[in-house]
């Protein structure tokens, strides 16, 4: 297949695909899906071997958010019944992190709901970072606290943070449809601040919110231009009580195509399967490891994930191995020079009709059936007296 051969060659050279090529990946038929996975898998293995990096989430402050992000169970006026609590103390957060690290995670992601941190909040998180690093040698810490003000990224870096996460989530043209309390430009500004402060930037997307193929390609091209070291790909978890609770637009096959497209556009970046993999990939999760080199272990911020033991078994059964604490995640040219996910040629503009492999357009995928049985609000771990799932 000429398209896939071309994309593999470009991925091995870190060359940007055309928009038409990226759209064509999303338009491939189910008959071609394994060929797409195999092609993107060659690119993944070239840059990351068969290693899978494990990350662990700690929700430092849950719920009570003033922002109105339609996808989020912690949004303003939420009626989702999630856990709601204010800031965990440093020792509480460190204990929560220890469970994930014991399960093989090498990065702890400290997340707090809200528009963005106050200077006092930054001080709180600095204390938590110190506690975690004192008790766990070599651990990576990523902070995710919302929109940053001037100087805050530098203070987090000085406190020992290694990375900062702030997702773009969707295309600029549709961002106002999902959030009105801040802008797409605000998000870009925060990722830029993290970069400038010397933090490893982490920024990704959410698929399944009713977006078009063009929207997905737009946001991934925007991410490549922003040059994060890691790109989390979330699949919307339609939580009852949120405006997007009825959006069941994903199939396992579409999720795999999305991950393949991200890998082709950002070939040498840590692509992470984030929220929603259990809900939408389901029994196809092992195939996705051929595309992504990173996952979250155990539960998410407000919903339950697959058991940590099952994650480890899945990785081993699929022929992959957990990345060790002493191994460097990124390829040498990125780890040493802070290089981007490729060269910065123009990504083009406008929207294009996407053809399938060999130029044959695939029919639109049918809407996924609602699997509300797979969505469970987290009732264990951080903020509770129960042991975490790790």
- Cα gap 235→251, rounded to integer Å: 10
50 labelled catalytic = no
The pTM assigned to this predicted structure is 0.90
272 labelled catalytic = yes
Q: How is residue 153 written in tokens?
A: 């990224």
69 labelled catalytic = yes
- Phi, psi (deg, nearest 5) at residue 59: -85, 100
65 labelled catalytic = yes
Residue whose structure tokens are 């430009």: 185
Q: How is residue 257 written in tokens?
A: 């195509």
> How far is it between the farthest Cα atoms of the chain?
57
Q: List, for residues 129-156, the tens digit of each pLDDT value.
A: 999 999 888 899 999 999 999 999 999 9
The residue annotated as part of the active site, out of 144, 202, 255, 341, is 202
Q: Is 144 annotated as a binding residue?
A: no
Q: Is 341 annotated as a binding residue?
A: no
- Cα gap 40→229, rounded to integer Å: 18
Q: Is 255 annotated as a binding residue?
A: no
**Cα 297 to the chain's mean position, in Å?**
13
Residue by residue, pLDDT tens for the chain (390 residues) are 799 999 999 999 999 999 999 999 999 999 999 999 999 999 999 999 999 999 999 999 988 888 888 888 888 777 788 888 889 999 999 999 999 999 999 999 999 988 999 999 999 999 999 999 998 888 999 999 999 999 999 999 999 999 999 999 999 999 999 999 999 999 999 999 999 999 999 999 999 999 999 999 999 999 999 999 999 999 999 988 888 999 999 999 999 999 999 999 999 999 999 999 999 999 999 999 999 999 999 888 878 889 999 999 999 999 999 999 899 999 999 976 544 444 434 333 343 333 334 333 344 445 578 898 888 888 778 878 788 877
DSSP per residue, 123-167: HHHHHHHHHHHHHSTT-EEEEE-SSPPTTHHHHHHHTT--EEE--
Residue spans per domain, the chain:
2-374
Q: Is 109 annotated as a binding residue?
A: yes
255 labelled catalytic = no
Q: Which fold has domain 2-374?
A: TIM Barrel (3.20.20)
Question: What length is written for the chain?
Answer: 390
266 labelled catalytic = no
Q: What is the DSSP letter of 88?
A: P
The residue annotated as part of the active site, out of 69, 255, 266, 341, is 69
Q: Residue 205: which of 174, 168, 180 has the closest Cα?
A: 168
Q: List, for residues 349-372, the tens digit of each pLDDT value.
A: 343 333 334 333 344 445 578 898
């Amino acid at each position: 297949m000429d398209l896939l051969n071309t994309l593999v060659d470009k991925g091995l050279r870190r060359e940007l695909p055309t928009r038409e090529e990226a759209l064509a990946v999303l338009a491939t038929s189910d008959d071609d899906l394994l060929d797409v996975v195999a092609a993107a898998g060659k690119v993944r293995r070239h840059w990351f071997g068969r290693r899978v990096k494990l990350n662990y989430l700690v929700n430092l402050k849950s719920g009570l958010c003033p922002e109105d992000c339609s996808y989020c169970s912690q949004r303003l006026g939420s009626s989702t019944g999630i856990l709601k609590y204010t800031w965990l103390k440093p020792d509480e957060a460190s204990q929560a992190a220890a469970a994930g690290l014991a399960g093989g995670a090498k990065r702890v992601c400290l997340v707090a709901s809200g528009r963005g941190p106050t200077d006092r909040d930054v001080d709180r998180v600095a204390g938590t970072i110190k506690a975690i690093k004192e008790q766990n040698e070599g651990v990576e810490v990523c902070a995710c606290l919302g929109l940053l003000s001037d100087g805050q990224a530098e203070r987090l870096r000085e406190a020992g943070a290694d990375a900062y996460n702030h997702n773009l989530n969707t295309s600029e043209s549709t961002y106002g449809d999902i959030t009105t309390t801040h802008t797409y430009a605000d998000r870009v500004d925060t990722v830029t601040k993290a970069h400038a402060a010397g933090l490893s930037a982490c920024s990704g997307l959410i698929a399944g919110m009713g977006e078009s193929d063009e929207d997905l390609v737009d946001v991934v091209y925007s991410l490549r231009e922003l040059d994060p070291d890691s790109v989390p790909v979330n699949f919307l978890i339609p939580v009852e009580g949120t405006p997007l609770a009825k959006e069941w637009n994903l199939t396992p096959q579409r999720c795999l195509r999305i991950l393949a497209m991200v890998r082709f556009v950002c070939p040498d970046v840590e692509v992470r399967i984030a929220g929603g993999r259990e809900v939408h990939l389901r029994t196809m999760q092992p195939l996705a490891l051929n595309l992504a080199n990173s996952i979250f272990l155990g539960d998410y911020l407000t919903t339950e994930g697959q058991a940590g033991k099952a994650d480890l078994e899945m990785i081993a059964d699929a022929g992959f191995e957990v990345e060790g604490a002493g191994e460097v995640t990124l390829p040498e040219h990125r780890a040493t020079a802070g290089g981007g996910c490729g060269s910065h040629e123009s990504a083009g503009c406008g929207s294009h009709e996407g053809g399938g492999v060999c130029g044959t357009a695939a029919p639109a995928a049918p809407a996924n059936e609602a699997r509300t049985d797979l969505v469970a609000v987290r009732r264990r771990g951080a903020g509770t007296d129960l042991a975490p799932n790790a």
